[in-house]
Amino acid sequence: MFGFDLMSMVAGLPGLIIAMSVHEYAHARVAVSMGDFTPKYTGRLTLNPLAHIDPVGLIMLLIMQFGWAKPVMINPSNFRDRTKGEILVALAGPASNFLVAFIAMAFLIIWGSMVGSTTGLRTVFWLIIIYNINFGIFNLIPVPPLDGSRVLSAVLPYEMQYKLAGLERYSFLILIAIMMTPVLSYILIPIERLILSLYTSILSVLLGAFL
């Protein structure tokens, strides 16, 4: 998912920090908009990376390709519509990553067409695009505590919700197994390519008249 060499890690650091910060901020923003002010009271309603980055999780992500940010604490009982709130809050994180990737790709195309860009700048922005897309896809996997499991839980009958929640005790092992086998590549790569192709097509239409 991520590169191991020093240059890739340095170039990829902005993308990872942006991906984590925007992802958690989006959870917090939507939770507040749905009626739960817990993220605001706990200082998570901000884009400041210091509020969201778990240093150990970031180091693990850089080195081991498996890491985490500080989870945003929410109280679903405060939502005006609990089911809708849980689904929207869960989807907000991955959706924000896909949006950031789209904006970064647009910027890279516009900047490159107007003034050109250095190899270093292209690498940094390309990694912002890739990391945000992959971060969004990964978090949609329906394994607790990832966002995909929260969406799935919100629409399952109570009995199934209970069984899904029970998987969380094994989630670390499940996620390690996913990361250490080709399974993740089979999930990420085709979806990543599809999203990149979609973004390229959309931007070619939107920017074609201006570039």
Cα of 26 vs its chain's centroid, Å = 10
**Where is pLDDT greater, at 201 or 170?**
201
In a domain, 72, yes or no: yes
Region at 118 (left for phi over 0; alpha for psi -120 to 50; beta for the rest)? beta
Q: What is the pLDDT of residues 34-60, one digit of tens each?
A: 999 999 999 999 999 999 988 887 777
86 carries an active-site annotation: no
Q: Do residues 91 and 185 make contact, with C-beta atoms less than 8 angstroms apart?
A: no
Q: What is the pLDDT of residues 1-29, one digit of tens each?
A: 544 566 677 788 899 899 999 999 999 99
- What is the value of pTM for the model shown? 0.90
Count CB atoms within 10 A of the CB of residue 103: 13
Q: C-alpha angle 138/185/12, rounded to 5°?
A: 65
What's the domain range around 173?
6-208
pLDDT tier for residue 65 given thresholds of 50, 70 and 90? low
63 membership: H or E segment, kind and range: helix 55-64
Contacts of 177 (CB under 8 A, 6+ apart): 183
Looking at the 3D structure of the chain, how many domains does it have? Answer: 1
pLDDT tier for residue 168 given thresholds of 50, 70 and 90? confident
In a domain, 1, yes or no: no
In a domain, 174, yes or no: yes
Spatial separation of the C-alpha atoms in residues 134 and 187, rounded to whole Å: 10
Contacts of 99 (CB under 8 A, 6+ apart): none
Of residues 24, 159, 168, 192, which has the active-site annotation?
A: 24
**Where is pLDDT greater, at 118 or 69?**
69
